[in-house]
Amino acid sequence: MSELKEKSFDMSVFGFDGTGVQVQGFERDESLPIPTLKEEYIFHKDTLRDVINFIDCAFDEGLLLKGPTGCGKTSVIQQVLSRLNYPTQLFSCGGSTEFMDLVGQWTLVKGETVWMDGCLTIAMRDGHSLILDEVDLVAPEQLANLNAILDGDNLVISQLNGKVIKPHKNFRIFATANNANSDSSGLYAGTQPLNIAFMDRFRTLKVDYAAKEVEVDILGKVASAIPPIIRENMVELANKVRTVFKGESDTDEVEMSVTFSTRTLVRWAIQTQRCQRADCAISYALDRALLNRCSDQSEVEAINAWAIALFGDEFKPESMK
Ligand SMILES: Nc1ncnc2c1ncn2[C@@H]1O[C@H](COP(=O)(O)OP(=O)(O)OP(=O)(O)O)[C@@H](O)[C@H]1O
Ligand SMILES: [Mg+2]
């Protein structure tokens, strides 16, 4: 495989002008798996700096992003890599993921048994980045097989008579997790604390929901017809639900089984803009984006009451019509 041509980018590709900072990426090669670019993505300066620093210089380690659901962990990695034209293998982990799923497997093709490289083998050999998405769903003993790779060692494939794959200089490992340590909410079903020796091999970033004004801008990008004041109130409601979900509200008794991710906010805004024929589009869309997921009616009533307080009588919940 021919080497990719390197190319420098200035920070304007990430929406920051006049910084003078150059970031190393590659010339675009359409034949390679480059993450799809999302124009509406807004970068947080600190997280962006950390991700770029890691790409630029990783010393036998991975980069782990941990934080609540839908706050932008997977997408920030993908959006940085996309703008740098960095070939990327994304692996969505699950409870039944085994190390060999990453390495490769023998498969029957037209009656013949052939070896198919897995994403780890491809990424190590060809110099791609590998994203292990939701890594805390995988059994710790399976992840332990990655320890040597994270230390910078070769991959030895015993199924191929001990074939050795040397790590390419551009090979990088990213991982995301909701619950790297322990899940105090008990709501991230299926996750388990990561083994501390595995975690020790990662530079770690804590990611949280973006600041209010950033989320208001994100909503402006995906649903520009919604006036800024309404978008502000939408983010305000999301932050209220997040606070109560985390048990950090002094005044509210209700326990939340759901939280309000940026993903949910984006869905709410897009559906509000699309469903203008509904009696009350903003309430109709909120039901579908979040409320229909609540496990208890008291949560629905509490969120609707906070929405009325924010949006006024214009907000008419289904149950009150
Ligand atoms: N900074 C941002 N700019 C624009 N959109 C964003 C941003 N952060 C999050 N989003 C939106 O939120 C969605 C969810 O983000 P993402 O999938 O990265 O979250 P996550 O933290 O990986 O969530 P999970 O833990 O559930 O996998 C994205 O698809 C995007 O629509
Ligand atoms: Mg994710």
Give the residue, by CA position, lying nearest to ligand 1 atom 29.
263
Top-confidence residue, 315 or 189? 315
Q: How far apart are CA 152 and CA 212, in angstroms?
A: 40
Q: For ligand 1, say whether the CB of 176 is within 6 Å of any of its atoms.
A: yes
Question: What b/e string do you get for 270-294 counting C-beta neighbours within 10 Å, with b at 16 or more?
Answer: bbbbebeebebbbbbbbbebbbeeb
Task: Establish if 1 belongs to a structural domain.
Answer: no
Give the domain CATH number at 129. 3.40.50.300
**Are 214 and 195 a contacting pair, CB within 8 Å?**
no
Ligand 1 pocket test: which of 16, 71, 183 has the largest number of ligand atoms within 8 Å of its C-beta?
71
Percent of the chain scoring above 70 in pLDDT: 95
Domain endpoint, select from 206, 222, 254: 206
Domain endpoint, select from 181, 206, 231: 206
pLDDT of residue 239: 96
Residue 23's DSSP bridge partners are: 9
Task: Establish if 288 belongs to a structural domain.
Answer: yes
Copy the structure tokens of residue 53: 């620093």
pLDDT of residue 179: 75
Same domain, yes or no: 115 and 152:
yes
pLDDT of residue 57: 84
Ligand 2 center to residue 250 CA distance, Å?
A: 30
Q: Find the range with the poorest average confidence among 142-156, 189-203, 282-296.
A: 189-203
Copy the structure tokens of residue 96: 């039944």
Same domain, yes or no: 90 and 228:
no
Task: Establish if 252 belongs to a structural domain.
Answer: yes
pTM: predicted TM-score of the whole model, two decimal places: 0.93
How many DSSP H helices and E strands does the chain contain?
12, 11
User: How many structural domains compose the chain?
Assistant: 2
Q: pLDDT category, 185, cuts 50, 70, 90?
A: low
Domain endpoint, select from 206, 236, 266: 206
Ligand 1 center to residue 44 CA distance, Å?
A: 12
The angle, 0 to 180 degrees and rounded to 10, between the axes of the packed helices 281-289 and 262-274 is 140
In this structure, which ligand is nearest to the CA of 262?
1
Which atom of ligand 1 is closest in space to residue 76's alpha carbon?
18
List CB contacts of 218: < 8 A, sequence separation 6 or more: 40, 42, 210, 262, 265, 266
Task: Establish if 169 belongs to a structural domain.
Answer: yes
Ligand 2 center to residue 190 CA distance, Å?
A: 15
Task: Express each pLDDT in 63-102 by its tens digit.
Answer: 999 998 899 999 999 999 999 999 999 999 999 999 999 9
Q: Which domain holds residue 221?
A: 212-320
Average pLDDT over the chain, rounded to an integer: 91
Which of 198, 86, 189, 165 is CA-nearest to residue 131? 86
Question: What b/e string do you get for 21-42 counting C-beta neighbours within 10 Å, with b at 16 or more?
Answer: eebebbeeeeeeebbeeeeebb
Ligand 2 center to residue 246 CA distance, Å?
A: 20
Q: For ligand 1, say whether the CB of 249 is within 6 Å of any of its atoms.
A: no
Same domain, yes or no: 125 and 46:
yes
Residue 303 backbone dihedrals phi, psi, to 5 degrees: -65, -40
Q: pLDDT category, 156, cuts 50, 70, 90?
A: very high
